[in-house]
Structure 1
Amino acid sequence: MTSAAAPRTLEELGARPHTVPKPTTLLWLALAATLFASPAAAAPLPRAESRYSAEFRACLKAAADAAQERRCNQGEFARQDAALEAIYRQKLAQWPDDEFQKKWVNKMREDGIRAREAVCRYESLDDESGTPPALVFDRCRLRRTAERIIMFQADAAFCR
């Protein structure tokens, strides 16, 4: 009795040849898995207003005109900007001897300021609500600074 020859390859067994995913596909899958598995992705970031001080809220309530509101905004901006600078100093302190990281943090700071100022200038010119452009600019600058702090805090919480 002759037996049939045993299959020698997977194709002979009926298996389909294995296809290797493209590297870009693997990269997107890894990115998606990271984003969907992270606790930061599960919860939305807090609104910028959540960072505003009680003094600022009281100042806004007492403000009778745009000039007084601008003073309130400028005072709160000084507080928020100091908090953001403290974050940058903390990041610089993480790498006391690494010149590349220091340059990167300083560039990140400069680019963030440049982007904030450009966006807020645009918003103040494009506003059609009748609000004085300087007030629109101050509100925007304050909001964007607080959002940047929230972003850094979320990043720090995610990276722990």
Structure 2
Amino acid sequence: MSLPTLPFIVERNAYGKLVLVTGDGERHNGVTPVRAFPIAAPDEGVALVGTDGHELAWIDRLEDLPAQQQALLREALQTREFVPQIVRLRSVSSFSTPSTWDVDTDRGPTQLVLKGEEDIRRLPHGKLLIADAQGVHFLVPDLHALDRTSRRLLDRFLA
């Protein structure tokens, strides 16, 4: 079975669920968009998955879609994924682990507990992915864009 690429349409039904309408008119209710690489390449490689967990369609790049469908899928992806972005480190309880970090995120201030330095993953292009003790992943989208204090605090854990 080959997966449909474009043309297809993604729309919402009366219940707010996503519907995939393939080129031959077949309708698949309750599809879920899933990113192949949510951190490294968030706008490339998105699968539309049916309620049975099987992939129904593949999108190479979100920007290839018409603006309305692109916005619909981005909204659905945003509600599905929870990866707050750290914009500033205010303080850390200690430079040994476990330590409690006071941070500002794109969703507001919070605290996270870092169990060990191995919970900080370096990603391409100066990104960091930090897993806290509760399993929540925090993204630092650009280490070099952080303020000086934040970089200095992080450097103690990245050495």
- Same fold, TM exceeding 0.5? no
Greater strand proportion: 2
**TM-score (ref. length: structure 1):** 0.22
Indicate the structure whose relative CO is greater, using CA pairs within 8 Å and at least 6 residues apart. 1
Greater helix proportion: 1
**TM-score (ref. length: structure 2):** 0.22
- Higher-Rg structure is 1
